[in-house]
Amino acid sequence: MLVHIPNVLTPEEVAHCRTTLEKSEWVDGRVTAGDQSAKAKFNLQIPQDSAEGRALGEIILRALGRNPTFNSAALPLRVFPPLFNRYDAGMRFHAHVDNAIRPVPGTGFRMRTDVSSTLFLSEMEDYDGGELVIQDTFGVQNVRFPAGDMVLYPSSSLHSVSPVTRGSRWASFFWTQSMVQDDTQRTLLYQFDQSIIETRKLLPDDSPAVLGLTSTYHNLLRQWAQL
């Protein structure tokens, strides 16, 4: 399931992120890549342990907490601290699959990556190229959204970033361990939840239809969730 979530960050939050990142140190993006991905990755990143990255990551985590679409689609159990990357002209990331397990910095814990996220921080007119190309059972999608928008997709997907030919593409990226590991089940629950939302616009919350749909949704979540 691929989900586009508009306006995860407000314009003011995007501007703050950009201002902070412009003053930050950038390093070779291969520092967070596995052995195979490191051979395919050509970009820049903010160091994982930087104070700027941690502060901006907190802003993004708060934004995710208030976003109903993210919570409905990802069903988050754990969210990896957001990272930040940059593709200048000529940079790209060849096709790869994200690592299945990642150590969470500073915790001693590891998490499974079920859902990958890219949150765009550059306006579309500021660069050419740089599309996030995602390949999965839903086909091939070329993703390029306005600053503040985010895309969710299964971490099992083969994906790449096409070469930037003009300007610079900045983004935040991170992973979510979902309460529901299986993407098909997550998709069904997300679609079910969207149907409940639409039904509640037409019927009162205490109507038998709404109560029945809500009950079934939570019983399915209870059956499929892994905590």
Q: Which domains does the chain have, with CATH numbers?
A: 3-178 (2.60.120.620), 183-224 (4.10.860)
The reported pLDDT for the residue numbered 36 is 61
Residue 149 is labelled as binding a ligand? no
Residue 16 is labelled as binding a ligand? no
Residue 218 is labelled as binding a ligand? no
| Average pLDDT of every residue of the chain | 95
Q: Are 132 and 91 in contact (CB under 8 A)?
A: no
* Band of residue 29 on the pLDDT scale cut at 50, 70, 90: confident
The reported pLDDT for the residue numbered 149 is 98
The reported pLDDT for the residue numbered 136 is 82
- Give the residue-averaged pLDDT of 156-175: 97
- Give the residue-averaged pLDDT of 31-43: 72
* Band of residue 80 on the pLDDT scale cut at 50, 70, 90: very high
Measured between alpha carbons, how far is 119 from 182 in angstroms, rounded to an integer? 23
- The whole-model pTM stands at 0.94
- Least confident interval from 119-128, 130-139, 212-221: 130-139
Residue 96 is labelled as binding a ligand? yes
| Residue 89 pLDDT greater than 80, yes or no | yes
Q: Are 95 and 40 in contact (CB under 8 A)?
A: yes
| Residue 96 pLDDT greater than 90, yes or no | yes
* Band of residue 137 on the pLDDT scale cut at 50, 70, 90: confident
